[in-house]
Structure 1
Amino acid sequence: MYSQKVMECFMNPQNVGEIENADGVGTVGNPKCGDIMKIYLQIEDNIIRDAKFKTFGCGAAIATSAMLTQMVKGKTIEEAMKITNKAVADALDGLPPVKMHCSCLAEEALKAALWDYAQKNGLTIEGLTPPANRHDEDHAAFGEEN
């Protein structure tokens, strides 16, 4: 069962769309299970000024995308780096165990967008590593088959 917050974020998602000439773009997911998430960031003076998303997936994938974009706006890159899948799930008042992989996808998309930004600007961001598509591993970690 989904929380009221998940339902709100799914039924009326904020920040849907693309940012033209985004400073960082991260795409993660797996068409095999149907979850594909793309996060766009506009970063100015080390602050995330805007964040948008395009997600193909279930209600939980859309809700986690929407919540993540709300959470990162106004944050420094360092603050955004600390956002975990658990923080996204908690902000949604929880997710069913079989949908926790969606919060992992949101965290991975954010890190991929930050990686893209760092690469475009010749930056090193502490703790940031090249994106790895861990989607199948995330499903397995939560006892799901893909």
Structure 2
Amino acid sequence: MLGRRERRGPDRVARSPRRRVAVPFWNADRVRPRDRSGCSRVMQRLSRRAWVARRAVRAYHKRVIDHYENPRNAGTLDRQDPSVGTGLVGAPACGDVLRLQIKVDKDGVVEDAKFKTFGCGSAIAASSLATEWIRGKKLDEVLKIRNSDIAKHLSLPPVKLHCSMLAEDAIKSAVQDYRKKRDSTG
């Protein structure tokens, strides 16, 4: 008479309960009924992921998070209006795109500014802050805003400095577009 192991075919080999079995990735987190070790494994992974997510949120300064979650002056202005200048800039390295529009009154003071940004949270925060800073200033004062000022105020990490450069370039481009429109209309 054959033993239990010998009756099984070569594709059905009995395994020791302590031996780890490779599981396909789609079944890796599957919890089976009455499997306490599986439940604890999933809970450990979830808590580890939540800790990493909380840590990532704390990596940015509270001003960045505030401007990202509550962006100021988001929207668009009428492009056909001769008192509106539009600056459109992009960063090919990361794919961020920023459109900043300014509305200038007859005295050369920025009375309204709007932005639309497709990009990371730092780019949105830098755009929002830039529109806050340029409102109510003359064009010459607006051109004095530097990316280093924006980055310093938001406490951006070095890998996100290009976001503040986008905001500065968009400001310059919008002022240039406004001046070009103003000169062409007389």
- Normalised to the residue count of structure 1, the TM-score between the two structures is 0.80
Paired residue for 1:54?
116
Give the letter for the 2:99 counterpart: K
- Is 1:7 matched up with 2:57? no
- Is 1:64 matched up with 2:126? yes
* Local SS of the residue matching 1:68: helix
**d(CA) in 2 for partners of 1:51 and 1:70?**
8
Report which of the two structures shows the higher radius of gyration computed on alpha carbons.
2
**d(CA) in 1 for partners of 2:129 and 2:123?**
10
> Identity over aligned residues, as a percent?
45
**Which is richer in helix?**
2
- Cα deviation for residue 27 of structure 1 reads 0.2
Paired residue for 2:160?
99
Paired residue for 2:183?
122
Aligned residue among 82, 88, 92 for 1:27: 88
Paired residue for 2:170?
109
Provide the aligned C-alpha RMSD in A. 1.4
- Is 1:40 matched up with 2:101? yes
Give the letter for the 2:64 counterpart: V
User: Structure 2: where are the runs of 5+ without partners?
Assistant: 1-58
- Cα deviation for residue 78 of structure 1 reads 0.7
After superposition, where does 1:80-95 map in structure 2 within 5 Å? 80-92=142-154, 94-95=155-156
Runs (4+) of structure 1 exceeding 4 A deviation are: none
- Cα deviation for residue 33 of structure 1 reads 2.1
The number of residues matched between the two structures is 122
- Normalised to the residue count of structure 2, the TM-score between the two structures is 0.63
| Contact 1:38–1:109 (CA under 8 A) maintained in structure 2 | yes
- Is 1:73 matched up with 2:73? no
- Cα deviation for residue 122 of structure 1 reads 1.7
- Which deviates more from structure 2 when the two are superposed, residues 114-123 or residues 39-48? 114-123
